[in-house]
């Protein structure tokens, strides 16, 4: 008789190890995937709607989520971005608190799920959706790429979410006594970024190019660039006057021109420090160790998913660190 017990023990030990590894992976990936799609606990979310200026309101999701711009009047309601799919009814209810008019139009500032997740539901209600050409192209990709966690994937949006009307430069709405301008900016957060300006109300929605909660999320997986982020912020600063109210993609407060300058200058300072280190021949880990964001970390790290360890490598590689010479 051959005693197989040690072998069996070995096999079961190996299986146990494998199982526990699988289990660990599962528990690591579960919160990660939920976090990247940002849809944790949406059933309990309460949305609020607050006036910004003139005919423009903002729908906020306490705790985060893409801020929705709402322009309303006798011609109907225009939305800028659509949050997550499970929140559409709450978005409609929030709009219903300030107007009886129908939601007619939706403009997407970019491809991310926390800004386009409600598209299909709103299209189903007869809302006409607009975006930049590049944003629609991103809807056609097999999976939706997400910048967090070193580039993660989320399931692609349904066909009904795709904007049927796209533009490559500027789109003007003549609505509610106002000429609403949606226009392309340099590839910053993504390559489909647009700003939406309401000149009469003097309100500017910047999508995720500008956030009050974190360093800029430059989504290189969806065509975002550092140089475009600075250029797009320059555009926003040029447009903004002393009284302009700015809706950030994320963050609960409306800001003004001063905050935009502060954000742009913060990026320029970090960029300058990283470029200096690259020119000294420093490797990425040495640049991170030099803490080029140290002066800003207290203010710009409210978002637990996007800190210096996420931001600095992007600045480093976008500036030509790691051997790329193009931008030096």
Name which of 54 and 248 has its Cβ closer to Zn ion.
Answer: 248
| DSSP for 92-107, written as a single string | HHHHHTT--SPEEEEE
Does 136 interact with Zn ion (rule: CB under 5 A)? no
C-alpha distances in Å from residue 293, one per residue of 214, 217, 309: 12, 14, 10
C-alpha to C-alpha distance for 69 and 67, rounded to whole angstroms: 7
Question: How many residues make up the chain in this entry?
Answer: 328
Does 208 interact with Zn ion (rule: CB under 5 A)? yes
| DSSP for 126-186, written as a single string | T-EEEEEHHHHHHHTSSEEEESTTTSEEEEPPPGGGS-SEEESSEEEEEETTEEEEEEE--
- Quick note: the x/- pattern for Zn ion over 210-249, rule CB under 5 A, is ----------------------------------------
Residue 87 DSSP code: G
Q: To the nearest whole angstrom, how small is the minimum distance from the Cβ of residue 251 to Zn ion?
A: 13
- How many CA atoms does the CB half-sphere of 2 hold within 13 Å? 4
C-alpha to C-alpha distance for 189 and 201, rounded to whole angstroms: 25
Does 191 interact with Zn ion (rule: CB under 5 A)? no
Name which of 112 and 145 has its Cβ closer to Zn ion.
Answer: 112
Does 112 interact with Zn ion (rule: CB under 5 A)? yes
CB 122 within 8 A of CB 87: no
C-alpha to C-alpha distance for 49 and 94, rounded to whole angstroms: 6
Q: To the nearest whole angstrom, how small is the minimum distance from the Cβ of residue 143 to Zn ion?
A: 16
Q: To the nearest whole angstrom, how small is the minimum distance from the Cβ of residue 111 to Zn ion?
A: 8
For residue 214, what are its two tokens?
A: 């974190």
> Which of the stretches 27-35, 94-102, 162-170, 204-212 binds Zn ion when contact is defined by CB under 5 A?
204-212
Q: To the nearest whole angstrom, how small is the minimum distance from the Cβ of residue 208 to Zn ion?
A: 3
Q: Any long-range contacts for 320-323 (C-beta under 8 Å, 24+ apart)?
A: 320/278, 321/274, 321/278, 321/282, 321/284, 321/287, 322/283, 322/284
Please work out the total of residues on this chain that contact Zn ion, with binding judged by CB under 5 A.
2
- Taking CB under 5 A as the criterion, which residues in 286-305 touch Zn ion? none
CB 156 within 8 A of CB 143: yes
Name which of 195 and 288 has its Cβ closer to Zn ion.
Answer: 195
Interior CA angle at 99 toward 96 and 104, to 5°?
A: 85
Q: To the nearest whole angstrom, how small is the minimum distance from the Cβ of residue 147 to Zn ion?
A: 8
For residue 239, what are its two tokens?
A: 């447009």
Name which of 98 and 153 has its Cβ closer to Zn ion.
Answer: 153
> Which of the stretches 8-16, 200-208, 261-269, 288-296 binds Zn ion when contact is defined by CB under 5 A?
200-208
Q: To the nearest whole angstrom, how small is the minimum distance from the Cβ of residue 120 to Zn ion?
A: 18
> Which of the stretches 76-84, 85-93, 104-112, 315-323 binds Zn ion when contact is defined by CB under 5 A?
104-112
Interior CA angle at 192 toward 117 and 37, to 5°?
A: 30
Q: To the nearest whole angstrom, how small is the minimum distance from the Cβ of residue 280 to Zn ion?
A: 33
> Which of the stretches 110-118, 132-140, 265-273, 312-320 binds Zn ion when contact is defined by CB under 5 A?
110-118
Name which of 263 and 277 has its Cβ closer to Zn ion.
Answer: 263
> Which of the stretches 23-31, 83-91, 112-120, 232-240 binds Zn ion when contact is defined by CB under 5 A?
112-120
Does 250 interact with Zn ion (rule: CB under 5 A)? no
Name which of 208 and 310 has its Cβ closer to Zn ion.
Answer: 208
Q: Footprint of Zn ion on this chain (CB under 5 A)?
A: 112, 208
């Amino acid at each position: 008789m051959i005693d197989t017990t040690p072998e069996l023990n070995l096999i079961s030990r190996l299986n146990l190890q494998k199982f526990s590894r699988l289990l660990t992976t599962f528990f690591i990936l579960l919160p990660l995937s939920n976090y990247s799609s940002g849809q944790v606990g949406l059933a309990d979310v309460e949305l609020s709607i607050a006036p910004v200026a003139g005919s423009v309101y903002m729908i906020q999701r306490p705790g985060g989520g893409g801020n929705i711009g709402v322009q309303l009047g006798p011609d109907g309601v225009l939305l800028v971005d659509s949050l997550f799919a499970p929140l559409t009814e709450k978005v409609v209810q929030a709009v219903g608190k300030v107007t009886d008019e129908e939601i007619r139009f939706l403009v997407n500032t970019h491809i991310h799920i926390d800004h386009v997740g409600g598209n299909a539901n709103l299209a189903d209600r007869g809302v006409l959706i607009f975006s930049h050409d590049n944003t629609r192209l991103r809807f056609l990709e097999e999976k939706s790429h997400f910048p967090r966690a070193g580039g993660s994937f989320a399931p692609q949006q349904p066909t009904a979410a795709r904007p049927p009307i796209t533009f490559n430069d500027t789109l003007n709405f003549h609505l509610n006594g106002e000429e609403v301008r949606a226009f392309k900016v340099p590839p910053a957060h993504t390559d489909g970024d647009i700003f939406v300006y309401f000149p009469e109300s003097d309100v500017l929605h910047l999508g995720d190019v500008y956030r009050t909660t974190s360093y800029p999320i430059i989504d290189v997986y969806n065509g975002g660039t550092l140089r475009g982020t600075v250029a797009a912020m320059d555009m926003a600063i040029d447009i903004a006057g002393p009284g302009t109210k700015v809706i950030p993609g994320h963050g609960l407060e409306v800001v003004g021109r001063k905050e935009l300058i502060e954000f742009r200058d913060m990026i320029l300072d970090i960029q300058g420090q990283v470029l200096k280190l690259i020119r000294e021949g420093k490797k990425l880990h040495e640049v991170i160790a030099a803490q080029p964001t140290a002066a800003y970390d207290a203010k710009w790290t409210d978002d637990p998913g996007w800190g210096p360890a996420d931001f600095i490598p992007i600045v480093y590689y976008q500036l030509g660190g790691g051997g790329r010479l193009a931008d030096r």
